[in-house]
Structure 1
Amino acid sequence: MTGGPAVLVGIDGGGTRARLRLATPEGALLAEGEGGPANIATDAGQAWDSIRQALELALSRAGLSGAEYRLVAVAGLAGAEVSGAMARFLARPALFARLDIVSDAYTSCVGAHAGEDGAMIAAGTGMVGLAIAGGATRRVGGWGFPQGDEGGGAWIGLEAVRLMLCAGDGRAQRTVLSEAVRARLADEGAEPMLWAVGARAADFARLTPLVCTLAEQGDAQARGLLARAGAEIEALLAALRAADGFGALPCCLLGGLAPVLRPYLSAGVQAGLSVPRGHAIDGAMLLARRLHEAAPEAPGDSQPE
């Protein structure tokens, strides 16, 4: 792991799965591997297990032995900005000769703009905006669910549940959306009025496809909910561009909800969005290459503070 030729490792670790890519310092792809959830704030041990699983799978597919190579890695991990999360992850046995950890939002932005200055808004289970300009970074939103992440999949699911609860106890009239949510939860064997107690962000996000389906069918309440999510995207974009030096940056809309929510943006905002030039895993690989080139022969472990 600490000696021999260098192999670059890029990692994209989110709340649902981890992706890992191996490449030569010259950029030749060797193999990829996959693992489970890798949010180091919610469960650092699970994240370590997921990344180890992805690494072992990628090494096997490439026909390599990790002990014979110096693995230089950059990991973009969900939860990296949470106090103590990185330390809990790094307390586990080292998997790489060198490792830098950044947020998954950062690698997403780097990948979307191929390492150049730019901004991005990621619309998935959560919602976050990030911009990079001249080495400076600006972040808006993405402060976690339920206190933040407005407009993301978990938020959409929570708002749908709130509508169902109000209709269920008579504070509001029952609607197509409220009854669809009630039926979905009941079909899963839950008591709909109590289901949300103890539910996590991913649980709420699983209701978002139901909202999207009803919106596609023309349901006004579902469409209104997605329109509110679209307004959150526009608010994030305005906040990103409000600071000096960030106003003219190209911006990409990323994440699983991007194609769903894009039609709910104003025509001007839609026209101003850029096409992503890469993904989070591409950003992690680009940063791993920079890390290796900065000190290609550096021995031993290098962990971030």
Structure 2
Amino acid sequence: MLLIWGLMLASACYTGLAVWRLAIARTHPGAQYLALPFAGMAVWAAALLIRSATIVAIAEMLRDLGWLAYILITTRPQNGHQDIRRTIAQFCLGLALLAIVRTGLAGAAKADFRFLHVSTDEVYGSLGTDGLFTETTPYDPSSPYSASKAASDHLAKAWHRTYGLPVVVSNCSNNYGPYHFPEKLIPLTILNALEGKPLPVYGEGLNVRDWLYVDDHARALHLIAGRGQPGETYNVGGHNERRNIDVVQRICAVLDELVPAQAPRAQLIRHVADRPGHDGRYAIDATRLETELGWRAREDFETGIVKTVRWYLDNAWWWQPLRNRYGGERLGLDAGAGQEIPS
């Protein structure tokens, strides 16, 4: 089966790297072509992660892409690399246009072609205390960041309706796991706790997210790209709702067990002013993906967070150079204050 991973506006570097790792590990029998827009940190991380033999294999795989026209039009900073708070302070709508020439495809290869557009649950807005996002939930984005992602979803589906491009859209919940940039809540908490620094939590920490281990997301993307129906949307969620304060406290408990400190690390928690337009609750209904494509998350939050903490403990070679350049300070509103704020 021919898989072309095209436009990944959400988590282009972080989730994209997980997709590459999975494809390489599996040596997927049908992954003849993979085109993924890496940038910045992802290229650096991939270069450190991938061994020379794999680089040769990728080079051979990409060598056959002569027929593929790849045009990416965007502005800086790119949406996939932005924290929501930064986009509030420095909003920039990155619009990506991918023109794909399919004249080199014929027969089964042409029938199997998919354009996978990876998006987010943020496009649906905020839930109340109950209910789940489904594929038919109306869009109601709360920030310029999520609004731009919603716009990209509409653009992708418009190409399907207007030109017949076999677009498949996925909307995922919050990812976590290895290689996550330390601006985000979970890696920032892990690294700050290791260094005895304050652990910032927005407001009372009552915002709820549905946490999805990044390797589970990568497996879902492989399935959706290979077997998803053109023109359709598939929600990807981990069925792991947690309040932010509970996430931070659990990380502290895991670290206290694995790397004991003089005092419980939960004492480092500091409540800070909430960010504008902060959605109260996200939760994904992944029934369609589970029933139609047979996907199941392998990690629940308890197993996934322990794996994640252990990964950061074992891989300072990856995150220490980043921390030397970026210590977790706020990059959006009030950036000059130097306060550490999670995404």
Same fold (TM over 0.5): no
Q: Which has the higher strand share?
A: 1
Length-normalised TM-score, structure 2:
0.28
For the pair shown, which has the larger CA radius of gyration, 1 or 2?
Answer: 1
